[in-house]
Amino acid sequence: MPRPPAPKPARPAPRPSPPPQGRARWPDARHFAALDLGTNNCRLLIARPQGSGFTVVDAFSRIVRLGEGLASSGRLSDAAIERTIAALRICAEKLRRRHVALSRSVATEACRQAANGPEFIQRVYRETGIVLDIITAEEEARLAVLGCHALLEPGDGPALVFDIGGGSTELVLVDSTHEQPRILDWHSAPWGVVSLTEARGIADDRDPHKRQAGYARMRESVREAFAPFIARLPEISGTPRLLGTSGTVTTLASVHLGLPSYDRSAIDGLIVPAASMRAVSQRIAGLDMAGRSTIPCIGAERADLVVAGCAILETIMDIWPAERLGIADRGIREGILRRLMGARAQ
């Protein structure tokens, strides 16, 4: 299979010197931390090693919408920066309180694309002490797979792992026949729930015909962005397997189960019939903003972005026709933690 084209390198940012707490303290490290700053969410995980894995001791997640308005302006807005720094201050306090010995904090699509991304990275360091590393789309995909591949169903042939983010969607074809998954191919599409909503969303969704046309427009845009990857996909042998990690799939799985509020223990590792997830997606896409806001686990906070997530998910299920969809409430942060703990053990 031809190797996919290399991603555009992330815009280099002036790299501040990290706080003096890294390698010298590795032998005594008990708490490790991973922070993932995406286009829509800021997520922190603090854990300690246990056996071949780890135990979570603290976590934080907040919707910050860092990439809001980025598609039109090319810059991170002042309001988005303030929201994000407020969340990162909470993360910094948790890192101090838990005496974290080793951590890594990464930023993804919004900071890769924004003209003022490097300035934002510097300001975060000045005001919180957190050193954000803008990672490439390829590393983002690899970390997501490392963090969630354990939830892949057993089977022969390649599996497709995907991560629907705020500013991009990563598709990764993996060979999971070995203990560690081998990446066969990957693709990063520039559509996530924020970027697709801003570019292809409907200003007035009260008209059902406009909603239907807008949803079709979203799906067509996603399929066009997936086209290079689709052209490289091998003929499927065996039973196709599909695993998703993102707020989109965990939210839609919650709706599928009819949960009154989000429950990670019920969602992480869940296997859902693909037809059921498609039905949930189409039902949500058929509702207006007010209707979506009344659904538990969506609410007003996610009502404007969830339709874009549905469009991306349905398109993924079109190109990789698995009968079942695995749901992972884990990904980049867990991948970072496994790398940090693995490096310490060497």
The residue extents of the domains of the chain are: 32-135, 145-332
Q: 145-332 in CATH: which number?
A: 3.30.420.150
The hierarchical CATH code for the domain 32-135 is 3.30.420.40
Please say if the pLDDT value at position 282 is more than 80: yes
Least confident of 24-33, 48-57, 151-160: 24-33
What percentage of residues in the chain have a pLDDT greater than 70? 90
Q: How confident is the model at residue 23 (pLDDT cuts 50, 70, 90)?
A: very low
Comparing 32-135 with 145-332, is the CATH topology the same?
Answer: yes
Whether the per-residue pLDDT at 247 is higher than 50: the answer is: yes
As a whole-number percent, the residues of the chain with pLDDT over 90 amount to 80
What pLDDT shows up at residue 29?
54
| pLDDT, tens only, 149-205 | 999 998 888 899 999 999 999 999 999 887 778 999 999 999 999 999 999 987 667
Name every residue whose Cβ is closer than 8 Å to that of residue 49 and which is 6 or more positions away in sequence.
32, 341, 344
Q: If you average pLDDT over every residue of the chain, what do you get?
A: 90
